[in-house]
Amino acid sequence: MAEETQVLVKFVTKLPISLRVPETPVAVPSTLRRYGLSQIINHLLALDPPRPFDFLVNGELVRCSLEAHLLGHNLSAESTLQLEYVPAVVPPRHKHSTPHDDWVSSVDGSRGADASGEAAGSILSGSCDGLLRLWDADLHCTSSAQAHDGGVSCVRFLPKSQGDLLLTAGKDRTVKMWKLDDSASSGRCRLLAAYRGHSDGVECVAPSPSGRRFASCGWDGRLMVWETGRAVAEAAEVAAEGGEADAGVECSKKKRKVAAATTNDHAAPAANGNDGGGSCLSISECSTELNGHLHCVSAVCWAAEEALFSSGWDHSVRRWDVEAGVAADTHSGSKTVLALASHAACPQLLAFGCTDCALRIWDSRARAGGGGGGADAVAVTTQGSHGGWVTGVAWCPSSQHHLATSSHDGSLKLWDLRARVSLASLSHHTGKVLCVGWLGGGGGGLVSGGADCQLRLYEGGAGL
């Protein structure tokens, strides 16, 4: 019987001292995979209960035996292999679901698990029935409002620095800004402003990191930047009290002119009688329009003030210099791009999902450094794929390495950029999954919605 091949490995980590093992090289069987390696670390640390670990070689997660990894990377079995161990990510667990009257088209869980204890009305959902709904941590509806005729396409909280403000976009060609009522018992979203620059359905909105601006895009092929936040909310309050609307729009004096006037924008009554209607500020002129897309602009994300990305049915993804009003970089692919996500800590790195079922990563720094079409091809890599269109991409707020995606194949997938295969697949939806978002607070939880008319909540697993 042939002897089992051994490999010399050195275990290193950036974890606290209490979780570090001696860095002396040890011989281990070359057939070991991450589970066997994790058992060694647990034994050396005498952990009780045991903890799962993942292992990195030159920044890449090991997803095969050590022997296969050495062969696949043309590494010598005679040299010492350095393995960095990190806590393994435990996939989120399905916790709750709640029905809607129509497809759940958009979610925002960024305030869904605040470390300060804020919970009531902290998860947003938008539905094709036109309703905006707010939910607590147990998916009990705390408020709803009839937001848009024809359906809600997108819901987004503004950053907390701007207070309890949120945006919705819809098929009725408008974007609306709402304020959560200060009284939790009132169960009410109050409409403050309506943005009326689009000539067709609005697909997506993205607030800037400061929350003082947002970008909107839609089926009319337009990508526009608007002013929002506290300044516009104060203008709306002045208008609602019968003052001059222009008195509150001081935020536009730098370079921008916002045409504003008050109008009565009464929405149809919602199911619980909360229509969110009343007098609101009507804004019809954007601050900046970014021209370049040739068809529907399907998605936009704004991870840093200087890094606005958009994508569309013209198969392109564009990075914009908002101040100059021009596209600073463009990736042209072969399929429609449906969803985008970037991380505030690394805004030059963009993840996007396409109708060819692929999740791709674009490092815009590589293109800027290399120039030319060849550099662009190198900068965009395929991370993995679903069995259907990729409809949503969400970057974990507590990790630059982890993403979640939703797809028409009925699943959510969890990804680590350091591996080319997904970490987990969650298949609790019974139809197309249309949207996904991470819960705030760093707990690793998820919220999703789909064509099965269900809003689903997933408890965070360890490692995120």
Would you say residue 305 lies in a domain? yes
DSSP, res 5: P
Query: Distances from the Cα of 208 to the Cαs of 211, 301, 320, 344, 401, in angstroms?
Result: 5, 8, 13, 11, 22
| pLDDT for residue 276 is more than 80 | no
pLDDT for 366 equals 77
pLDDT for 372 equals 47
Do 80 and 98 lie in a common domain? Answer: no
Residue 205: CA count within 13 A, CB half-sphere: 34
Higher pLDDT, 350 or 114: 350
Which of 45, 68, 87 finishes a domain? 87
Would you say residue 464 lies in a domain? no
Region of poorest pLDDT, from 202-216, 247-261, 383-397: 247-261
Would you say residue 59 lies in a domain? yes
3-class SS of residue 240: helix
pLDDT for 243 equals 54
Q: Is the dihedral of CA 232, 233, 235, 240 positive or negative?
A: positive
pLDDT for 239 equals 84
Are 233 and 177 contacting, i.e. CB atoms less than 8 angstroms apart? yes
Q: Are strands 260-264 and 279-283 parallel, antiparallel or unpaired?
A: antiparallel
The two structure tokens encoding residue 34: 């991450």
Count the domains in the chain.
2
Do 26 and 98 lie in a common domain? Answer: no
Ranges assigned E (strand) in 199-275: 202-207, 213-218, 223-227, 260-264
Domain CATH code at residue 205: 2.130.10.10
Do 143 and 272 lie in a common domain? Answer: yes
pLDDT for 4 equals 78
Residues 6+ apart with CB under 8 A from 329: 318, 319, 364, 367, 368
Do 36 and 134 lie in a common domain? Answer: no
Do 151 and 210 lie in a common domain? Answer: yes
Do 214 and 248 lie in a common domain? Answer: yes
Q: How confident is the model at residue 75 (pLDDT cuts 50, 70, 90)?
A: confident
User: What is the residue range of 122's domain?
Assistant: 93-459
| pLDDT for residue 152 is more than 90 | yes
Domain CATH code at residue 70: 3.10.20.90
Cβ neighbourhood burial of 277 (10 Å; 0-12, 13-18, 19+): middle
Do 172 and 36 lie in a common domain? Answer: no
Are 456 and 96 contacting, i.e. CB atoms less than 8 angstroms apart? yes
pLDDT for 2 equals 57
| pLDDT for residue 197 is more than 60 | yes
Are 265 and 248 contacting, i.e. CB atoms less than 8 angstroms apart? no
pLDDT digits (tens, 9 = 90+) for 366-418: 754 444 444 444 488 999 999 999 999 999 998 899 999 999 999 999 999 99
Q: What are phi and psi of 64, to 5 degrees?
A: -155, -175
The whole-chain average pLDDT of the chain stands at 86
Q: How confident is the model at residue 444 (pLDDT cuts 50, 70, 90)?
A: confident
Would you say residue 1 lies in a domain? no
Higher pLDDT, 148 or 253: 148
| pLDDT for residue 115 is more than 60 | no
- Interatomic CA distance for residues 418 and 416, integer angstroms: 5
Q: Which helix (H) or strand (E) holds 346?
A: strand 346-354
Would you say residue 313 lies in a domain? yes
Q: Are strands 81-87 and 6-12 parallel, antiparallel or unpaired?
A: parallel
List helix spans (H) across 87-195.
none
Q: Are strands 26-29 and 189-195 parallel, antiparallel or unpaired?
A: unpaired
Torsional class of 25: left (φ above 0), alpha (ψ -120 to 50), beta (otherwise): beta
pLDDT for 98 equals 96
| Segment of 109-113, 237-241, 343-347 carrying the highest mean pLDDT | 343-347
| pLDDT for residue 264 is more than 50 | no
Q: Residue-wise over 2-22: b if at least 16 C-beta within 10 A, else e?
A: eeeeebebebebeeeeeebbe
Do 284 and 347 lie in a common domain? Answer: yes
Would you say residue 35 lies in a domain? yes
Do 31 and 47 lie in a common domain? Answer: yes
| pLDDT for residue 189 is more than 80 | yes
pLDDT for 278 equals 55
Do 163 and 73 lie in a common domain? Answer: no
Q: What percent of the chain has pLDDT over 90?
A: 71
pLDDT digits (tens, 9 = 90+) for 15-70: 999 999 999 999 999 999 999 999 999 999 999 999 999 999 999 999 999 999 99
- Interatomic CA distance for residues 364 and 339, integer angstroms: 17
Which of 66, 87, 108 finishes a domain? 87
Averaged pLDDT for residues 208-225: 97
- Interatomic CA distance for residues 357 and 374, integer angstroms: 24
Region of poorest pLDDT, from 150-164, 232-246, 249-263, 352-366: 249-263
pLDDT digits (tens, 9 = 90+) for 413-434: 999 999 988 999 999 999 999 9
Q: Is the dihedral of CA 435, 111, 404, 212 positive or negative?
A: positive
Do 161 and 137 lie in a common domain? Answer: yes
Do 402 and 357 lie in a common domain? Answer: yes
Would you say residue 124 lies in a domain? yes
Are 228 and 167 contacting, i.e. CB atoms less than 8 angstroms apart? yes
Which of 41, 66, 87 finishes a domain? 87
Cβ neighbourhood burial of 234 (10 Å; 0-12, 13-18, 19+): middle
DSSP string, 138-162: T--EEEEEE--TT-EEEEEEPPGGG
Would you say residue 378 lies in a domain? yes
- Interatomic CA distance for residues 452 and 432, integer angstroms: 7
